[in-house]
């Protein structure tokens, strides 16, 4: 079976409970975050894992961040564009909770290290997944996050764009 045939069979399967998406904000900040999500059989819960990387710092320094996060979501399948003809597609209102670890490294432009740290955080929020057509998903979210190292709260806006298969 060719790779194209395998991909087409995955995309045409009746049960579409897994999605892969990109978070939009990291793309705008010089990075990328990829998220994979899988729904339970009841379609009321899903679990997501994301991996991200981006360049940071400016001036006499350069830095990099690598993040790993785990998220649990509770779904309510109500509202416009929350369901589609394909069975198993999860859409509508959601409540989410997320735990995240970020490795931050900073160095001088000559490559000499300044330092590195591992930071942790958590966040909770609300969102709404739109299923505009075929297997595309668009999920805006808004929440509040807590940084364990600085003990500060912050707003957590987000948007993912992806495909459900």
Question: How is residue 64 written in tokens?
Answer: 């990099």
Contact by Cβ (8 Å): 91, 83: yes
H/E stretch holding 153: strand 152-164
**CATH code of the domain covering residue 63:** 2.40.160.20
| pLDDT value at 17 more than 50 | yes
Residue 51 contacts by C-beta under 8 Å, 6 or more apart in sequence?
A: 33, 34, 66, 67, 68
Question: How is residue 49 written in tokens?
Answer: 């894992």
Predicted pLDDT of residue 21: 96
Chain segment 107-130, per-residue pLDDT in tens: 998 888 899 999 999 999 999 998
Predicted pLDDT of residue 161: 96
Q: Is the pTM of this model over 0.85?
A: no
> Three-state DSSP class for 4?
helix
Closest CA to 122 of 158, 73, 75, 69: 69
Domains in the chain, number: 1
Q: State which residues form the domain around 107.
A: 3-164
Beta strands in 14-112 (DSSP E): 18-23, 31-39, 45-56, 61-76, 92-108
CA 112 – CA 128 distance, rounded (Å): 45
């Amino acid at each position: 079976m060719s790779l194209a045939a395998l991909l087409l069979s995955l995309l045409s399967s009746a049960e579409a409970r897994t999605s892969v998406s990109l978070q939009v904000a990291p793309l705008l900040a010089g990075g990328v975050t990829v998220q994979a999500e899988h729904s339970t059989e009841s379609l009321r819960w899903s679990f997501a894992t994301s991996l991200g990387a981006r360049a940071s710092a400016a001036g006499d320094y350069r830095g990099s961040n690598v993040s790993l996060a785990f998220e649990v979501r509770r779904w309510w399948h109500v509202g416009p564009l929350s369901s589609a003809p394909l069975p198993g597609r999860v859409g509508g209102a959601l409540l989410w909770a997320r735990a995240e670890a970020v490795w931050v490294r900073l160095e001088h432009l000559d490559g000499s290290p300044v330092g590195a740290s591992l930071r942790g955080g958590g966040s909770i929020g609300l969102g709404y997944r739109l299923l505009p057509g075929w297997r595309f998903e668009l999920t805006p979210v808004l929440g509040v996050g807590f940084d364990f190292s600085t003990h500060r709260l912050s707003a957590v806006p987000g948007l993912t764009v992806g495909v459900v298969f």
